[in-house]
Structure 1
Amino acid sequence: MTHHISEGSRDCEEYASKHYVDRWGIPVDESDLTSHHFVAPDNPAGSRAPVYRWLSTAVPSRCISYRATDTRAVYDAVIAGAGLGFLPTFVGQSRGELVEILPSRGDWISDIWLVTHVDLHRTFKVQKFLEFIKAAAPGGPACSLLL
């Protein structure tokens, strides 16, 4: 079963840590991105995430200094100052040590879906988990619980 958690709410922006900005500065505009370091998934061109498809066309692969297969590793690397990276807006805005580099663009926004097994989707614990995730989705009443 698929569950539509939140429409158009996976809004991402590009962030850097204050440490990165102190060392490397902030890009002047998109043409200046090639003089910076990036944190990205292992294969941004093969990603379904709109921000990473954009990144694979806007920035040469030589600029990606840290690659990860885990979203949390990307987040930790951005916080540590390894490079510029995309984070959900609600995460980036809640962290004082992050600096917004590029604001969100309309073509970077995506829906959030959750898939559950057809034989399990009506069980109590799966339903409670779905309630929690829907409440914690960006814009939901408990989105800070996901930080």
Structure 2
Amino acid sequence: MPMTIPSTDWSDYQAFLAIARTGQLAKAARLLGVDPTTTGRRLRRLEAALSTTLFEQTRSGQELTEAGETLLQSVEQMAAAAGQISERAVAGDGLTGTLRISASEGFGCWFLARHLTDFQARHPHLAIDLVASSGFLSPSRREADVAIMLSRPRKGPLVAHKLSDYTLGLYASRDYLAARPAPEVPADLDEGHALVGYIPDLVYAPELRYLDEIHAGLQATIRSPSITAQHSLVASGAGLGVLPCFMAESDPRLVRVLAECRITRSFWFVTHQDIRKLPRVTQFRQWLDETVQLGEDVLMPGRRAPMDSAA
């Protein structure tokens, strides 16, 4: 049940919310754009006003107490309401504030970043944070407004819908293939070929474990947690590698091998249920749906061509 909120400075509640979302005082301070001392002072002031302890100090950072968990429900509602009021007030002038987007490195850097200027041009007063990395910020903890993920979340206060499927294939550089025979069947990959792929214990999503879908028992010998680094390795002739087609097909240095080895995965649009109706979220979702639909041939090249699927 939500806690009764005493009248105090809204910045104190913002500090509490940032600490709850990030789990660390220093990270919360960076999120707020203030120093950790200020964030700590605001938290202590709020705890004094409530006469309770909101966090416990642990080795990893700050963890919510039972009172903190109760307060979080109310403050999340306050933050969502404040965001809706702010965006409605400026609706005539377009979107304002900040939209933070978390996306996989490949989709963020190789697809979304190439189209995002169109959305920014439509909403020039909106600041856009694009966090494209090996891993995702958490919409559940409100580290991001939107996350483009590789699977539908199974738990948490989240809403999700499927954006699109995309395909991956096996690629090699022209120089690599000039130095040795191209594999004709998947079993050929066991003999005399180097494979580029992920570091097994640093794979951040199970959907990225796909070498066995090409040929059972395949293991990468040149490895990186970064798909951009893997792309560079394959393009430089270090070995063959599985790459998203939307990355590889635009690189003239690369050649598709074993075309029958077609792997299919999906992108999901995920946001926190409390902010799903905010104009900046709904308009970004609509724009992204349209952009992905227009880019279907890039995400799923040869989709209508008859071929076997390894997915």
- Within a 5 Å distance, the mapping from 1:1-147 to structure 2 comes to 1-6=159-164, 9-34=165-190, 35-43=192-200, 47-49=206-208, 51-55=210-214, 57-59=216-218, 61=219, 64-105=220-261, 108-137=263-292, 140-142=293-295
Larger strand share, 1 or 2: 1
Query: Are the aligned partners of 1:39 and 1:74 in contact in 2 as well (CA < 8 Å)?
Result: yes
- What is the distance in 2 between the residues matched to 1:76 and 1:130? 31
- What is the distance in 1 between the residues matched to 2:193 and 2:254? 16
Query: Are the aligned partners of 1:50 and 1:110 in contact in 2 as well (CA < 8 Å)?
Result: no
Query: Are the aligned partners of 2:172 and 2:256 in contact in 1 as well (CA < 8 Å)?
Result: yes
| Offset, 1:91 | 3.0
Structure with greater contact order relative to length (CA < 8 Å, sep ≥ 6): 1
Give the alignment's Cα RMSD to 1 decimal.
Answer: 2.7
Query: Are the aligned partners of 1:41 and 1:67 in contact in 2 as well (CA < 8 Å)?
Result: yes
* Uncovered stretches (5+) of structure 1, i.e. residues with no partner: none
Q: CA 1:50–1:67 in 2, change beyond 3 Å: closer, same or farther?
A: closer
Equivalent pairs: percent with the same residue? Answer: 24
* Uncovered stretches (5+) of structure 2, i.e. residues with no partner: 1-158, 299-311
- Pick the structure with greater CA Rg: 2
| Offset, 1:3 | 1.8
- What is the distance in 1 between the residues matched to 2:226 and 2:257? 22
Q: CA 1:38–1:129 in 2, change beyond 3 Å: closer, same or farther?
A: farther
Query: Are the aligned partners of 2:176 and 2:239 in contact in 1 as well (CA < 8 Å)?
Result: yes
Q: CA 1:85–1:131 in 2, change beyond 3 Å: closer, same or farther?
A: farther
Which whole-Å deviations, capped at 9, do the CAs of 1:24-54 have from their partners, x for residues lacking one?
Answer: 331132121012111111127x832463342
**Greater Cα offset, 120-129 or 75-84:** 120-129
Question: Number of residues paired by the alignment?
Answer: 135
Partner of 1:119, secondary structure, is helix
**Greater Cα offset, 96-105 or 125-134:** 125-134
Q: CA 1:94–1:15 in 2, change beyond 3 Å: closer, same or farther?
A: same
Query: Are the aligned partners of 1:47 and 1:53 in contact in 2 as well (CA < 8 Å)?
Result: no
Instruction: Return the TM-score normalized by structure 2.
Output: 0.38
- What is the distance in 2 between the residues matched to 1:11 and 1:104? 12
Q: CA 1:56–1:101 in 2, change beyond 3 Å: closer, same or farther?
A: closer
| Offset, 1:84 | 0.8
| Offset, 1:127 | 3.0
* AA of the residue aligned to 1:89: C
* AA of the residue aligned to 1:28: E
* AA of the residue aligned to 1:41: Y
Query: Are the aligned partners of 2:207 and 2:265 in contact in 1 as well (CA < 8 Å)?
Result: no
The structure 1 segments of at least 4 consecutive aligned residues displaced by more than 6 Å after TM superposition are none
